[in-house]
Amino acid sequence: MNIINKEIEKYVEDYTSPEDQVMMALNRETHLKTYYPNMLSGSVQGKILEMFSRMIRPERILEIGTFTGYSALAMAKGMAENGKLITIDVNEELEGFVRKYIEESGLTEKIEFIIGNALEIIPELDETFDLVFIDADKEQYVDYFKLVLPKVRKGGFILADNVFWDGAVLEDDAKSDKETMGIKAFNQFVKNEERVEHVILSVRDGLMLIRKL
C-alpha cells in the first residue's frame, strides 16, 4: 500500500536539508550491501530525528534496533554536550559496518553500541533516558515499551517507528501476520496507557511520538 503519495514524498525530500557526507555514504552503502535497505530511516526521517533531538537536547538516548546506524547518528547530532546514546541490536553481522560509521562521524565517545537481545539488556541499564527510539522486532514492541517506560524521565519522549506497517494495520486480524499483530497490539496498548500522551505522525511508515506524563 502506498501510504504517502510518491510525488509528495519526493517533494518533501527535495525541500528537506540534505544529508552530510557521512550520512550520505552510510545511506548509499546500506543500499549497496544489505538485503533490506528499506529498514534505513532515510534522509527525511533521519533529519526529523536529528531536529527533534536538537530541540529537546537529550543527555541520554536509548535506541532499540540499530540496523546500520543511520538513526543513531542522526539523534546523536542533537544531544547535549555531555550526551550519551546507547544503541542495541541483535545482528552481529553488521557490527563492523556500524562501528566504521560511528568512528567516521566523530561520535565514538558519545555512542555505546551493544550487540545482544534488548529484552535482556534493557533491565540491566542503570540510566534515565530523555529519549527512546524503538525500531526493532515488531512482535516485541509492547515488551520494549513496558521495559523502557519506567526508565524514561517524566516529560521524556519515546518514538516508535513503522506504526503503519505499510498499511497492514488496516487489515482484518484474520489476515494479519505476527509482525502486523505486534504493531496493532502496540498501537492499542499505547492508546490505552494513561501514563503517556501520544500522536502518530504520517511520516514514511508512521512514526509515533509518545510523551511520558
Stated pTM of the model: 0.95
pLDDT in tens, 181-192: 999 999 999 999
Checking if the pLDDT of 28 tops 90, the result is yes
Closest CA to 110 of 53, 30, 153: 53
Checking if the pLDDT of 1 tops 60, the result is no
Question: Which residue ranges form the domains of the chain, and what is each CATH number?
Answer: 6-212 (3.40.50.150)
Q: What is the pLDDT of residue 175?
A: 82
Checking if the pLDDT of 90 tops 80, the result is yes
Q: Which residues of 130-150 are buried (b: 16+ CB within 10 A; e: fewer)?
A: bbbbbbbbbbbbbebbebbbe
